[in-house]
Amino acid sequence: MDLNKAIQFGQLVNAAYAIAPENLANSAGQVINAGYGGVACEVVTTIYASDLSTEMNPNRGQGEVSIGLILQGTTTGDVVIAIRGTQGILEWVHDAEFLAVKCPFLVGAGSTEDGFTAMYNSLSTGTAAGSPTVAKALSTLPFKKPVNSLTICGHSLGGALATLLALDVAANTAFKDRQSIPMPARARETRCL
């Protein structure tokens, strides 16, 4: 993997961390320079999650938080989905929910960890009830350039969510090919080409 790309993805995850979880304003249109030389990426939309959702009550609400960004390179068209790690006690509670549950979006894909799955099921591209999930929204987002590649990256909790999202995107969207690239401890990036 290109070191500059790894730095770029890490800095885009840091940009997701820089948004306070309680800040529910959509960051669409913001330009973030990341990587060596400052590759310009424009935020297409913010990703939200409910840190109060549970398997027993996935629509519990009142816990919407900003958790990530969908960005597009201003010159390349490459898309990056960057998801931050755990912030706040409620997200730590989800991290500690470790019972296995069936993968919710791909029959036969095995089991996933309960807390991460609950957070994943709440990911959306809006704060209103019925906002589309990230995987479903990809085909309708207002990308300014044709999408050349899609990279999904995250840190800690975001790494777990990125892994689930990569599988969902590969199984249920037009982005069918996927390639996993190992990252340093506690960081994981899955690249969908």
pLDDT for position 127: 87
pTM above 0.95, yes or no: no
- Residue 148 belongs to a domain: yes
Alpha helices (H) along 128-175: 134-137, 157-172
- Report whether pLDDT(168) > 90: yes
Over residues 47-75, the pLDDT tens digits come to 999 876 445 445 444 578 899 999 999 99
Task: Assess contact for 29 and 42: CB atoms under 8 A.
Answer: yes
- Residue 167 belongs to a domain: yes
Task: Assess contact for 140 and 132: CB atoms under 8 A.
Answer: yes
Beta bridge partners of 99: none
The tally of domains found in the chain comes to 1
Structural domain of 158: 3-50+65-86+125-192
- Residue 10 belongs to a domain: yes
pLDDT for position 64: 85
Q: Which of 21-25, 55-59, 148-152, 186-190 has the lowest mean pLDDT?
A: 186-190
- Residue 72 belongs to a domain: yes
Largest CA distance in the chain: 47
Task: Assess contact for 80 and 68: CB atoms under 8 A.
Answer: no
